Amino acid sequence: MLVARVYDVLDAVVVEVSCVHSTDPIGSHLLIREQSRVSADRTREALLALSDVALGAACRMRLQDERGLPLGLEECSCW
């Protein structure tokens, strides 16, 4: 299962997408993490940041797949 978290660290917003294995919590792992500065409208900025990270990760996975490169998720039983 993929879990996305968006949280504030001082004046920045952090987006993390993790793969959580319910049957093997130790096997859970971080897929992508990005941090960026935000303005006054933190809620909107957080949602946009989450959207950007998800789109970027999906595009990267598509390109890797098209080029026959390993995705780094082949050991993950979620896929």
Which pLDDT belongs to residue 48?
A: 84
Which pLDDT belongs to residue 74?
A: 47
What is the rounded average pLDDT for all residues in the chain?
77
Q: Which phi-psi region, left, alpha or beta, contains residue 22 (left: φ > 0; alpha: ψ -120 to 50)?
A: alpha
Which pLDDT belongs to residue 55?
A: 84
User: Measured in whole angstroms, how far is the alpha carbon of residue 47 from the centre of its chain?
Assistant: 13
